[in-house]
Amino acid sequence: MAILKSQLQFTGSLGQLSAYTARGSDKIILRTKGGPSKEMILKAPQFQNTRRNMEEFRGRVKASQFIMQALLPFKAAMDYNINASLHKILKPIQDLDTGSEWGKRNVCVTRKPILLEGLSINKKNSLESVIQTPLSCSFQQDIATATITIPELIPGLNFHTLPGGAREGAQPFPFYRLIVAIALVPDVVYTKKGYVSAVPDLTSSYVVSETTDWMGASVERPSSSFTLSLDRDIPEVASVVITAGLQFGTATGNMIEVAKYFGAGKVLMVRVSN
């Protein structure tokens, strides 16, 4: 992979080069075409280790899908490809499985849940840059219930509607709404059918979320608490992921529309069954 640094700007194919862009970056990325055929990679003995790595990558993809489902309420505010960050987190988690054969190692967030805590849904605007007073979060495992407390929000002091990274000359967004979520995310294990959820009845992450009404960004908001419950037992092979954030909005006629890719949020806490 290479980064194009030239007055010549293009995307697509040019000879043996492919050029493309990725969300979250204004640079053009170059890749060369060619290499071994698909048939060789799938069958040739010299690519056995490649096939093992490919299979384990599928496991990380499956695990990242479950985590992305937990973050679905915040999707409109995401401004970069979070999957890349998730793969960096999940690789050392997968490496912790020393009891399985290489190529079949499980991806169990429950082994090291702290690695997922603090994951930001945005690159340009961190939650701390928007809400500068810390949020608090607690979890009662016996009733599978999380309480998230948002501090008093005072515009211009501890609350900033449009932090660094905004479009040049853009006005602060006039509206925002808060989002909180709790999700049950299963571990991913290798089976004869490939990588699947470690919880048979949990084929996708179970998510409970709450979104406030739109509020004026120039108006002070008192401290508020949200209580979210999973209403089910927590399996030993699943993690509870608690996330908070906000979206910005703009007025269009009598409606308020979400400003895509503008917002902030992060994973506040990840807990597992004791």
In this structure, are 100 and 219 located in the same domain? Answer: yes
Lowest mean pLDDT among 120-124, 160-164, 235-239: 160-164
Does the global pTM surpass 0.85? no
In this structure, are 219 and 86 located in the same domain? Answer: yes
Q: Is residue 190 scored above 60 in pLDDT?
A: yes
In this structure, are 194 and 263 located in the same domain? Answer: yes
In this structure, are 17 and 124 located in the same domain? Answer: no
In this structure, are 148 and 250 located in the same domain? Answer: yes
In this structure, are 16 and 61 located in the same domain? Answer: no
pLDDT above 70 as % of the chain: 79
In sequence order, what are the residues at sequence separation of 6 or more whose Cβ sits closer than 8 angstroms to the Cβ of residue 168? none
Identity at 100, one-letter amino acid code: S
Of the candidates 134, 146, 126, which has an alpha carbon nearest to the alpha carbon of residue 207?
Answer: 146
In this structure, are 65 and 16 located in the same domain? Answer: no
As for how many domains the chain has, the answer is: 2
Domain residues for the domain of 171 are: 45-272
pLDDT above 90 as % of the chain: 69
Paired tokens of 232 = 């089910």
pLDDT tier at 30 (50, 70, 90 boundaries)?
A: low
pLDDT tier at 14 (50, 70, 90 boundaries)?
A: low
- Measured distance CA(228)–CA(206) in Å, rounded: 12
Q: What is the DSSP letter of 52?
A: H
| Residue range 5-16: mean pLDDT, rounded | 53
Q: Is residue 2 scored above 50 in pLDDT?
A: no
Cα–Cα separations (whole angstroms), residue 112 to 40, 189, 195 = 36, 15, 19
Q: Which residue has the higher pLDDT, 188 or 20?
A: 188
CB atoms within 10 A of CB 188: 27
